[in-house]
Structure formats: C-alpha cells, structure tokens
C-alpha cells in the first residue's frame, strides 16, 4: 500500500524482547525470561492499512507499543511526544489539545481541519476525547508527512493512530495497574479478556484517574487545578469463520477538568486596585483569576472493524459514531487585569460524527497488487458561546461600574460532509517496489452564526444614546461565505529498493489538502482577508534509508524531506486590531459588516479596539532530517536514540498579522498597543510556522540485572531534550529544557507482576512552555492600559511515585 508521507522508521522496543505482533494481538506479552533474546523482536504496524514490519514500511512511523506505555507510566497521551522528536502534544488550557509535527503547528480553535489527524481504531476521532483517557492500548503509531491517500481525511503534517487492545479467542488474560504520586495523582486501570469459545470473545477495560493538572493554585479563591476522569470500554470479538473477524467496541468517557491559568511577572493595577499580591515567579505556580476555568467532556464512541478474506481479495470496513458534549466555563481575564470582575465565557459544543469506510484490496503478495476504497463522514452540532465583553470608559475600579456591560451570544450550527474515493496499485520486480494512488474527495460545509449582542446600558442613559441599552442581532459570517464546496485530488507514490534483506532505501512523494476557513463572529469593519482564508495545498518529497546489523542488535533509519506549502493555514492569536466605529460601544464585539467610515490608525479613538485570533495564509517550506538508532549491546541492555532536525519557515516576504506596537515592522508588545500601517492590523514578516525549535532528541534505555531467583531487578530511563527558541509572535525567548524520568523496580521472572518506583523530571526543571503577554485593556478615555500578569504554561515539577501491576 502507498503512504504519502515517508521518513524515518521509529522507535524500536527498548524493553525486554516481548512479542509485539499487532496483527495477532498488539497486547501480547511474553515472559520476562525472553529478555535474553539476542535480537529485537519484530514490531508490526498498520500504517499502510495492512500489516508490515516496521523496518519494511516506506514511511515515517513512530510505533509506541502498549507495553512501552505501561513501562514508562505514560498516563497522558500527550507524553507520547517524549518518545517522538519533532512531535509536540500540548494542552495549555485544559481544553484545546494541540498537535505540532515537523514544525507544522495547529490551533484547534482556528476552525479548520487539523494538521495532524487523530484516529481511534482506524476511525477519525476528536483529539480532546482520544487524548483525555489512555488505557488498555495496543499500539500508537505516529505517521509523519502529508497523508492524502490511505486514510479518509487529508492532513499536511501526518496522522496519529491509536489502537485499543482486542480480545483473544483462545485464553483468559488481563491486567490491573495502579499508580500513585506525591503530586496528588492517582490512576487505576485494567482490562480482562473473557473468551466464550473460539468464535466469540469479550474484553472489558476501565480507567479512573485524578490529578492536579498543571499543579497551579488560584490564590484569589484558594482552589487548586484538578481533574477527574472515568472511562470504560467493552469490545466484542466475533470470528464466525476462519475468514471473517469483527470487533465491535463501545467506549464511555466522562472528564471534569478545572485548570487555572498560571501567571508570572510584575503586578500592575487597574483603577488603583492591584491585579495580585505582587511579583510572581515561575516556581510559585499560582493563578489570580476571579472566575472559574472548567471543562467537561462526556463522550460516547461506537466503533466496528471487520476483515473478510474473500480468497481473491480482502474486504475491510470501519463504521464509527462519536457523540460528544463539550462544556466550558472560563474567565477570559486570567491575568486579573480587571480585579474584582470575572470576564466570563461559556461554550457548549455538542457534536455528532458518523463515519463509514470500505476497502477492497488484492489478497496476494505477488508482482501486482491493487486497492479500492470509499469513505464517508458527517459532522453536525450547534455550538452556543456566551461572552462577556465589558468596555471601560476609564481605568476605574470595577466596583465603580465605569464600564458598559456587554454580553454577546453566538449560535453556530456546524455541518460538514466528506465523501471520498481512492484507488492504488503496486508493482514489484527485481528488488524494486512501486506503489501509488489517488484519492478524490468532495467536501461540503455550511457555516452560519447568529449573534445577539445586548447591554443593559449605564444607569440613567436612555436607549438610542451612547452608553444606553441596546440589542443588536447580526449574522456572524458575511454573506457569500457561509457555504463552501471543494473537490481536491490528493495522493502520492513511493519507490522502494531492497539492497539486501538488511538494507532498504526509498523515495516518496505525497500531496495533501486542507479547505480554507471563515472567521466566526469577527469584529465589525475587518477586511475580507482577515475573515476568509483560501485553500491550502502541500507537496512533500522524501528519501530514506533503513536497515539493521549485527544480527539485528542494531537497527537504524535516516531520511531527508522537503515540503512546500501553497497557502499554509496559520493561526495568529491575540492580534490587536482597529476597526471602523460603526456603532458606539459595539465595535469589535460582533462582525460581518464592512467599515462604515475609513480607518485612520493615527486619529481614531480608541486607536486599538481589542485583540482577536485571526487565520491567515502564507506560503512556506519545511525541510529536515530525521534519524533513529536502536541497539542491544548486551542481552540485558537496550538503548534507543531518536533525533530530528526540522526547519519550518514562511517564505521570505510573507507579511502576516502581528502585534507591532513600536512600528518598526517587527513583532513586539512593548509600550501601548498600536497599529502599524493603514489596515485593521499590523503586518510583519514572520519566520517560524510554530514556536518549536529546529532540533529535538529523545532517548530511552533499560538495564536488566540478571540474578538467581524468582525476581528480575531493572532500571529504566527516559530523556528528552528541546533547545530554546525565540517566539516572534509572542516576543519571548523560550528556554531549553531537558526532562529526565527514572524508573527502578523488580518483576517476577514469570512476567506476571511488577513493582516500580519512579522520579519524573529528575532535574526539577520548571520551564515556560507557552507564554501569552499581559493583555492591554482598551478604554475610551485613556487609550490602552497594561493589565496584570503574563499567562504561562510550564513543565510540571519533580514527581515521585509508585506503580504496581499484575498480569495474568
């Protein structure tokens, strides 16, 4: 099968040589005595929609097995990025999980398809749900590079596939694992397979998890960040004949997260009221917001996978349905720039997503091969967002009421339908294998936003006068932009040559597509280029070499790639704007209308209305080298090192939305907010596609200590290194960070039990990983006023814990 993205092979197991053939059972675990094997066991992946050895797949795959996840105590899917250089999985608010791969960033609030698609048991799934609860996992595969053929949704950066463990038909087996730590965290999970006979089997798994999230205390109300998650999964396995196998899975998830925004920096005041207790440092780990920051997720996922061997061909199918209800309440003023007033935003986002896919492929390993497929998905739901947006007339304390209270309610029905058809072929001869194919997709989306903005007005001022009560109803999406239709053609090809059984080389080309976006509830008087973006197209070229030596005691892979973007869809948050004063006190709250009066950034009062998150296109290139080395120097020592150097940059001359307060054409947030130029926002020549460094590295190791008796002691380690990087958009230098986790314990030689102590972040580095400068409040009489602390995210402090597990 073809993969449109190709790079390195990935992480081989550093653990004892347990069987890891996911085709038979991704969760299979051999006794610990197998650690004496002189070579690595084969890891089988399904990245190409069939089962192949990781070393034979002509694409970039980081394969993380369920066994590795348990051994490294990875309880959060985001920590998978510790094992895959160039991948960053973050959650800065407790709500929006973001994925960056090869320097290609994505903000889930930008309203476009993601740069990296997430799949659960081969069906597209919401990242917020998949990343919230990780338990009873068979294997996770990180596929690098554009994906435009083998899976139903195209993506420019790659895909992450998560496969849960499936029931066996021939034995009762299962596990239970418990984790506790000194950071008020606990995690209990387990799963068991109950085969009724060789045709029907059942697997049941569950998770209970509690923690203090970002370990931040809100000193305004005395509350800590905290999260609680409960999830259960049941999988029915059916094998009525030797030629037909099906798995029907139902998963329930309930998550309740309260995550306060950490702040740091010098305090300020608004109207003489201080925003906090004084200067706050990074290690203080405190929040100062007046209001709550809470996110709840209730999700139901049903998934059916079947495989039918017809003899001459193989028919596989996926059917899935996800129903999620996401509710959020947050204080939009985390830096407490307006003390004594919670600027509340509430969002209710229910969505329903049915997915269907059928694939028919040749059932032979001969000279020729082929495949045909069809895919369908529909996304519906109605988001209701309520936002407080008080407009101050002077920097006076909130208790004085010297502001116009404004509330905006946006009702946003969501509708997107994707239908696609794909075909691919293969020719194999004389050590060469040529694979290629195309996918034709029809995308239809309907975007509507009804926005009602109201204000009770100031006391004593009648309706019709500035500062009086009003109600305005508008369409938040300009006419003509509410419906989009696209019919992209994506795909690619790979050419592989087997120099010897131990050395393979390949070249590849891949093409993907993302539909443009339309801003919802954009400010009044904003130009059309800040409202709608054009479609994004990307092409990737790649060469790679992988092989093994010394009886497979050493596995290696190296690849180079060059990717071009025509109109990369980027997100530019917190950009200050100035718009036409269409209605006094309303500008910047609701949108969709053209300016009623010309904009003059030098004379308009106020000169800056507020900040907004804008999408914008920019041509870009991504190029880099990725490599991995996996070694077993002795029968009792495993070592794996992964490296990536990626340079993801906008092309020279690309002018993109920015904050440029001093007017020098470079991003900065020094002094009072101002707009450079004659447009609604400032524009700068930016460089990086995301705030990620060029280089990243991770390494894992395990040393097993051979002793006489019924137990085997061991020591494990995980280290990940990320250099510092300067963020142009945030005007901030992110420091480097080196995270080290150490594990030590004993296990039974029969592999049934294991007791492990761990220390995470041994060096106790608490480095800023996300930085949002202190916002500025716009007033009618005093321009802008600096408001409170900067909002940050940091690495978690040192953590001590204990893991106990039992398998049968």
- Tell me, rounded to whole angstroms, the distance of Cα 244 from its chain centroid: 35
61 pairs with which residues across the strands?
A: 143
Q: Is pLDDT above 70 for 524? A: no
Name the token pair of 376.
């369908």
For residue 27, what pLDDT is reported?
39
Signed CA dihedral, 211, 213, 217, 218: sign only: negative
Q: Which residue has the higher pLDDT, 308 or 44?
A: 308
Q: What are phi and psi of 79, to 5 degrees?
A: -75, -5
For residue 325, what pLDDT is reported?
96
Q: pLDDT (tens digit, 9 = 90+) per residue, 400-441?
A: 888 889 999 999 998 999 999 999 999 999 999 999 999 999
265 pairs with which residues across the strands?
A: 280
DSSP category for residue 66: H
When pLDDT is averaged across residues 644-671 and rounded to a whole number, the result is 90
- How far is the C-alpha of 148 from the C-alpha of 141, rounded, in Å? 17
Q: Is pLDDT above 60 for 33? A: no
Name the token pair of 742.
């150490």
Contact 560, 543 (CB under 8 A): yes
Q: Is pLDDT above 60 for 182? A: yes
- How far is the C-alpha of 630 from the C-alpha of 552, rounded, in Å? 9
DSSP category for residue 54: G
Name the token pair of 640.
């794996």
Name the token pair of 325.
């209800």
Q: pLDDT (tens digit, 9 = 90+) per residue, 98-149?
A: 788 899 988 877 888 899 999 999 999 988 888 888 899 998 888 888 998 9
765 pairs with which residues across the strands?
A: none
Q: Pick from 232, 67, 27, 65: which is nearest to 133 by CA?
A: 232
Q: Is pLDDT above 90 for 444? A: yes
Bond from prior residue into 606 cis (ω within 30 degrees of 0): yes
For residue 7, what pLDDT is reported?
32
Q: Classify strands 368-388 and 407-429 as parallel, antiparallel or unpaired.
A: antiparallel
DSSP category for residue 307: E
Alpha helix (H) residue ranges in 537-603: none
- Tell me, rounded to whole angstroms, the distance of Cα 671 from its chain centroid: 34
In angstroms and rounded to an integer, the radius of gyration of the C-alpha atoms of the chain is 27
DSSP per residue over 270-294, as a string? ETTEESSSS-B-GGG-EE--SS--E
Contact 304, 245 (CB under 8 A): no
- How far is the C-alpha of 622 from the C-alpha of 86, rounded, in Å? 12
Q: Classify strands 217-218 and 286-287 as parallel, antiparallel or unpaired.
A: parallel
Alpha helix (H) residue ranges in 279-382: none
Query: Taking the CB of residue 335, how many other CB atoms lie within 10 A of it?
Result: 27
Express as a percent the part of the chain with pLDDT over 90.
Answer: 57
3 state SS of 79: helix
Q: Classify strands 768-772 and 790-794 as parallel, antiparallel or unpaired.
A: antiparallel
- Tell me, rounded to whole angstroms, the distance of Cα 79 from its chain centroid: 11
* 166: confidence class by pLDDT, cuts 50, 70, 90: very high
In the block, tokens 């596609």 appear at 689
Q: Pick from 375, 386, 498: which is nearest to 434 by CA?
A: 498
- How far is the C-alpha of 719 from the C-alpha of 755, rounded, in Å? 21
Contact 554, 629 (CB under 8 A): yes
Maximum distance among all alpha carbons in the chain? 89
Express as a percent the part of the chain with pLDDT over 70.
Answer: 91
Signed CA dihedral, 223, 224, 225, 227: sign only: negative
In the block, tokens 């070249």 appear at 507
- How far is the C-alpha of 297 from the C-alpha of 521, rounded, in Å? 24
610 pairs with which residues across the strands?
A: 577
Name the token pair of 157.
């950066």
- Tell me, rounded to whole angstroms, the distance of Cα 519 from its chain centroid: 21
pTM over 0.75: yes
- How far is the C-alpha of 300 from the C-alpha of 352, rounded, in Å? 10
* 591: confidence class by pLDDT, cuts 50, 70, 90: very low
* 779: confidence class by pLDDT, cuts 50, 70, 90: confident
Contact 11, 83 (CB under 8 A): yes
Start-to-end C-alpha separation, the chain: 36
DSSP per residue over 82-134, as a string? GGSTTEEEEESSSS-EEEEETTB---GGG-S--SEEEEETTEE--HHHHTT--
Q: What are phi and psi of 530, to 5 degrees?
A: -90, -5
Contacting residues for 495 by C-beta, under 8 A, at least 6 apart: 432, 433, 434, 506, 507, 508
Q: pLDDT (tens digit, 9 = 90+) per residue, 542-573?
A: 999 989 998 889 999 999 999 999 999 999 98
- How far is the C-alpha of 608 from the C-alpha of 29, rounded, in Å? 61
**Homologous superfamily of domain range 22-423+433-807:** TonB-dependent receptor, beta-barrel domain (2.40.170.20)
* Sequence spans of domains, the chain: 22-423+433-807
DSSP per residue over 202-270, as a string? EEEEEEEEEE-TTT-EETTT-PBPEEEEEEEEEEEEEEEETTEEEEEEEEEEEEEEE-PPEEEB---EE
For residue 75, what pLDDT is reported?
80
Contact 48, 149 (CB under 8 A): no
* 41: confidence class by pLDDT, cuts 50, 70, 90: low
Signed CA dihedral, 523, 345, 395, 453: sign only: positive
- How far is the C-alpha of 124 from the C-alpha of 139, rounded, in Å? 16
Q: Is pLDDT above 60 for 353? A: yes
Q: Classify strands 116-120 and 158-164 as parallel, antiparallel or unpaired.
A: parallel
Query: How far is the CA of 667 from the CAs of 41, 144, 660, 680, 683, in angstroms?
Result: 51, 31, 5, 16, 9
When pLDDT is averaged across residues 64-89 and rounded to a whole number, the result is 80
3 state SS of 63: strand
Q: Is pLDDT above 70 for 241? A: yes
For residue 242, what pLDDT is reported?
94
When pLDDT is averaged across residues 707-736 and rounded to a whole number, the result is 92
- How far is the C-alpha of 496 from the C-alpha of 504, rounded, in Å? 7
- How far is the C-alpha of 576 from the C-alpha of 268, rounded, in Å? 20
Q: For the chain, what is the mean pLDDT? A: 87
For residue 744, what pLDDT is reported?
97
Q: Which residue has the higher pLDDT, 642 or 35?
A: 642
Name the token pair of 140.
């996770």
For residue 587, what pLDDT is reported?
53
């Amino acid at each position: 099968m073809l993969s449109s993205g190709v790079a390195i092979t990935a992480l081989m197991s550093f653990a004892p040589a347990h069987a890891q053939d996911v085709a038979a059972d991704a969760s299979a675990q051999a006794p610990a005595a197998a650690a004496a094997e002189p070579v690595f066991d084969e890891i089988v992946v399904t990245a190409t929609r069939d089962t192949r050895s990781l070393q034979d797949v002509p694409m970039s795959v980081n394969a993380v097995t369920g066994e590795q996840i348990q051994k490294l105590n990875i309880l959060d899917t985001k920590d998978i990025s510790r094992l895959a250089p160039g991948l960053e999985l973050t959650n800065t608010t407790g709500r929006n999980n973001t994925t960056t791969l090869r320097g290609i960033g994505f903000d889930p609030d930008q309203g476009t398809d993601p740069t990296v698609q997430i799949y659960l048991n081969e069906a597209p799934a919401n990242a917020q749900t998949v990343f919230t609860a990780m338990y009873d996992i068979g294997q996770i595969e990180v596929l690098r590079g554009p994906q435009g053929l083998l899976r139903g949704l195209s993506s420019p950066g790659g895909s992450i596939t998560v496969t849960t463990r499936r029931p066996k038909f021939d034995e009762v087996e299962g596990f239970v694992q418990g984790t506790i730590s000194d950071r008020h965290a606990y995690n209990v999970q387990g799963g068991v397979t109950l085969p009724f006979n060789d045709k029907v089997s059942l697997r049941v798994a569950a998770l209970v998890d509690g923690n203090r999230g970002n370990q931040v205390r809100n000193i305004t109300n005395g509350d800590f960040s905290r999260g609680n998650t409960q999830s259960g999964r049941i999988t029915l396995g059916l094998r009525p004949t030797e030629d037909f196998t099906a798995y029907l899975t139902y998963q329930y998830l309930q998550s309740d997260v309260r995550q306060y925004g950490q702040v740091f920096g010098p305090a300020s005041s608004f109207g003489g009221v201080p925003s906090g207790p004084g200067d706050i440092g990074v290690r203080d780990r405190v929040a100062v917001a007046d209001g709550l920051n809470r996110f709840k997720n209730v999700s139901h996922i049903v998934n059916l996978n079947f495989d039918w061997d017809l003899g001459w061909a193989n028919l596989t199918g996926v059917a899935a349905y996800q129903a999620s209800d996401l509710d959020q309440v947050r204080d939009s003023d985390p830096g407490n720039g307006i003390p004594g007033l919670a600027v509340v935003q509430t969002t209710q986002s229910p969505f329903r997503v049915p997915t269907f896919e059928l694939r028919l492929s040749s059932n032979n390993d001969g000279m020729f091969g082929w495949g045909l497929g069809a895919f369908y998905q529909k996304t519906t739901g109605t988001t209701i967002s309520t936002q407080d947006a008080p407009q101050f007339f002077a920097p006076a304390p909130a208790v004085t009421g010297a502001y116009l209270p404004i509330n905006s309610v946006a009702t946003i029905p969501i509708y997107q339908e994707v239908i696609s058809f794909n075909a691919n072929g293969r020719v194999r001869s004389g050590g060469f294998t040529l694979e290629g194919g195309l996918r034709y997709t029809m995308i239809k989306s309907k975007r509507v936003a009804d926005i009602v903005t109201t204000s009770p007005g100031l006391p004593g001022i009648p309706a019709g006068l500035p500062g009086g009560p009003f109600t305005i109803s508008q369409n938040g999406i300009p006419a003509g932009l509410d419906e989009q239709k696209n019919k992209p053609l994506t795909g690619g090809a790979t050419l592989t040559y087997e120099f010897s059984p131990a050395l393979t080389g390949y070249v590849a080309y891949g093409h993907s597509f993302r539909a443009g976006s339309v801003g919802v509830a954009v400010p009044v008087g904003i130009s059309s280029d800040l409202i709608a973006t054009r479609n994004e197209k990307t092409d990737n070229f790649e060469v790679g070499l992988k092989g093994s030596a010394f009886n497979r005691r050493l596995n290696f892979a190296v690849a180079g790639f060059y990717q071009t973007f025509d109109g990369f869809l980027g997100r530019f948050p917190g950009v200050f704007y100035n718009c036409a004063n269409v209605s006094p006190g309303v500008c910047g709250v609701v949108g969709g209308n053209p300016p009623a009066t010309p904009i003059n950034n030098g004379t308009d009062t106020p000169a800056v209305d507020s900040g907004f998150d804008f999408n914008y296109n920019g041509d870009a290139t991504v190029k880099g080298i990725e490599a991995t080395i996996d070694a077993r120097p002795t029968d009792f020592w495993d070592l794996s090192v992964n490296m990536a150097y990626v340079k993801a940059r906008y092309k020279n001359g690309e002018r993109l939305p920015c904050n440029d307060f001093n007017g020098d054409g470079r991003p900065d947030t020094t002094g009072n907010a101002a707009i450079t130029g004659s447009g609604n926002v400032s524009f700068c020549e930016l460089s990086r596609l995301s705030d990620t460094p060029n280089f990243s590295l991770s390494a894992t190791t395990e040393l097993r200590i051979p002793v006489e008796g019924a137990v085997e002691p061991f020591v494990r380690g995980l280290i990940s290194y990320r250099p510092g990087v300067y963020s142009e958009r945030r005007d901030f230098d992110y420091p480097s960070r080196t995270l080290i986790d150490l594990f030590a314990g004993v296990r039974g030689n029969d592999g049934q039990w294991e007791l492990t102590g761990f220390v995470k972040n041994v060096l106790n580095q608490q480095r800023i990983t996300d930085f949002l400068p202190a916002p500025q409040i716009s007033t009618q009489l005093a321009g802008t006023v600096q408001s409170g602390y900067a909002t940050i995210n940091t690495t978690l402090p040192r953590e001590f814990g204990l893991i106990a597990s039992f398998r049968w």
